[in-house]
Amino acid sequence: QVQVVESGGGSVQTGGSLTLFCTVFGTTGSIDDMVWYRQTPGKQRELVAAATSRGGRGDVDYGDFVKGRFTISRDNGKNMVVLQMNSLKPEDTGVYYCNAAGVRDYSGDYMMGDYWGQGTQVTVSS
């Protein structure tokens, strides 16, 4: 059974930094996309950062609001993705979710499902 586990949230002041970690358990196969989303007060869930390995590429993408403040990186051997967040602002406050899509099993076959973690709280105070 695939399980997505996030950690690293917390509380910081404006301008501070946090590092979020996400590990996917339950498969030794590869994962196409590992993505961070967030749910901030009064807004719909939005993409924060994505790291894809589809077709052997190592592409990354960020939400427009990131503007160079966050960096996503993957450790494919550990099925882990890390989100380094710097220059945090109060509007970054919310619950951050990790999503794994295109998860393969040990034989390389895709597993059914789109996997989400339970979320980790990030609070930035002014």
Residue pLDDT tens, the chain, 126 long: 899 999 999 999 999 999 999 999 999 899 999 999 999 999 999 999 999 987 767 899 999 999 899 999 999 888 999 999 999 999 999 999 999 999 999 998 999 888 999 999 999 999
Tell me, what's the pLDDT at 16? 98
Contact 69, 85 (CB under 8 A): yes
- CA-derived radius of gyration, the chain: 14
Tell me, what's the pLDDT at 112? 86
Contact 61, 49 (CB under 8 A): yes
Round to whole Å and give the CA distance between 57 and 69. Answer: 23
DSSP line for the chain: --EEEEE--EEEETT--EEEEEEEES-SS-EEEEEEEEE-TTS--EEEEEEE-GGG--EEEE-TTTTTSEEEEEEGGGTEEEEEE-S--GGG-EEEEEEEEEEB-TTSPBPSS-EE---EEEEEE-
